[in-house]
Amino acid sequence: MSGMRILVVDDEPAILRFLKPALEANEYSMTSASSVAEAIKRIASDAPDVVVLDLGLPDGDGKDVIRQVRAWSDVPIIVLSARDREAEKIASLDLGADDYVNKPFGVGELLARIRAAVRHRMQRHNETPVAKIGDLEVDSVRHRVTRGGDDVRLTPKEFELLSFLARHVGKVVTHRQILSAVWGPAHTGDTQYLRVYIGQLRQKIEPHPDDPSIIITEPGIGYRLRDAT
């Protein structure tokens, strides 16, 4: 699966059973946490693309997750809660949540709010939601890659790598930046991983993989996705 990584923080098994197939049907991959402590640990170690957060957790209030995570991360956080009091919404948003969805909820609405939160984060970072290079299109919000209008099937890591390059289209990104973003801070020296995956991507998206014109190597520095112009 080549979708965005969603961390759902909720201790209700029924919600997790409901959300997992719904998210996976829309090309997202889902992991879960059931407590404040586990949520903070997973956000730090797994670097999810979006956090969907319940406020009623067994070891504390979900707002504690927002408060602590916002000290070091701007990952989009969407509160999904049965608490519909205005004061709870205001407190969550003031702490740094990106959105607030009341239970019960519709999957379509939640997906739309996830896409909106991701777009807003990209805008804050001056990143490109959709990159077009020739007949190749990389949509980092909808998690779709097409070439000549046909879907390109990528593994999760291949998509993460291509999406990271696409969000910085035309700009050189270093080996360390790519490895940290895609594999995590513990892998910033694993350049062989990067070379292997770049090679795999070129086989799937380049007209001539042995003479690449889309993913450009910057010797000794990193890589650059060719600008659309």
For tokens 């049965």, what's the residue?
82
Kindly tell me if the per-residue pLDDT of 79 is higher than 90.
Answer: yes
For tokens 């939601």, what's the residue?
129
Kindly tell me if the per-residue pLDDT of 65 is higher than 70.
Answer: yes
- Sign of the alpha-carbon torsion through 91, 96, 102, 103: negative
**For residue 3, what pLDDT band results from cuts at 50, 70 and 90?**
low
Rounded mean pLDDT, 41-52? 88
- The answer, as to whether pTM is greater than 0.75, is no
In whole angstroms, what is the distance from residue 151 CA to residue 148 CA? 8
pLDDT for residue 228: 63
In whole angstroms, what is the distance from residue 89 CA to residue 76 CA? 16
Q: How many residues appear in the chain?
A: 229
* % of the chain residues with pLDDT over 70: 97
pLDDT, tens digit (0-9, with 9 covering 90-100), for 162-202: 988 988 888 899 999 998 888 877 788 888 889 999 999 99
- CATH superfamily name and code, 5-124: Response regulator (3.40.50.2300)
Q: With beta carbons less than 8 A apart as the criterion, state whether 175 and 194 touch.
A: yes
Kindly tell me if the per-residue pLDDT of 26 is higher than 70.
Answer: yes
φ/ψ (deg, to 5) at 169 = -55, 135
Q: Residue type for 173, please?
A: V
Q: With beta carbons less than 8 A apart as the criterion, state whether 184 and 176 touch.
A: no
In whole angstroms, what is the distance from residue 60 CA to residue 122 CA? 31
Q: Which helix (H) or strand (E) holds 29?
A: strand 29-33
In whole angstroms, what is the distance from residue 146 CA to residue 217 CA? 22
φ/ψ (deg, to 5) at 92 = -65, -45
Measured CA distances, 146 to 101, 102, 137, 155 (Å)? 32, 35, 5, 14
Alpha helices, H only, the chain: 13-25, 36-46, 62-69, 86-95, 107-124, 156-167, 175-182, 191-205
Q: Domain boundaries in the chain?
A: 5-124, 130-225
Secondary structure class of 209 (helix, strand, coil) = coil
pLDDT for residue 229: 54
Rounded mean pLDDT, 120-148? 82
**For residue 2, what pLDDT band results from cuts at 50, 70 and 90?**
very low
Q: With beta carbons less than 8 A apart as the criterion, state whether 80 and 103 touch.
A: yes
- 81 beta partners: 102
CATH class of 130-225: mainly alpha
Burial of 205 (0-12, 13-18, 19+ CB in 10 A): buried
pLDDT for residue 1: 38
